[in-house]
Amino acid sequence: MPSFSTGTVQTVLACATAPTEGFTALSPVSSAGDAVTVCPGGAQLYAGQAYVLDASQQQAVDAALGPFDYSYASALWTLAFSTVVGLYFVSHGISLVLNMIRRG
């Protein structure tokens, strides 16, 4: 079975106003021992493990998150619906022929 990787698990830093599950709060300190403000707007710095996508996967992710194409979706739906209706009529016609042969 082929295996492929789209990313890796890495330690990431994030600025947030509230703690996120799996992330721990950090208090950044300079080399002089002073507290350093890293995050803007009173947010706090958090560290945690996250799955980070490879840069090579950017096009696939951008395409998946792109705008929804309603005309393409409606064309696919129309094709599927007309296939189902067409198969219904074909099977109905076959059953009429078989009933005529059986009653024959």
**Per-residue pLDDT tens for 36-59?**
677 888 788 888 898 888 888 888
**pTM for the structure as a whole:** 0.47
pLDDT-above-90 percentage for the chain: 34
Do the beta carbons of residue 79 and residue 35 sit within 8 Å? no
> Where do runs of H (alpha helix) occur along 1-104?
58-64, 70-103
Per-residue model confidence (pLDDT) at position 35: 63
Average of pLDDT values for 99-103?
94
**pLDDT value of position 1:** 52
- Position of tokens 């599950």? 21
- What pLDDT does 94 receive? 97
β-strands 44-53, 7-16: how paired? antiparallel
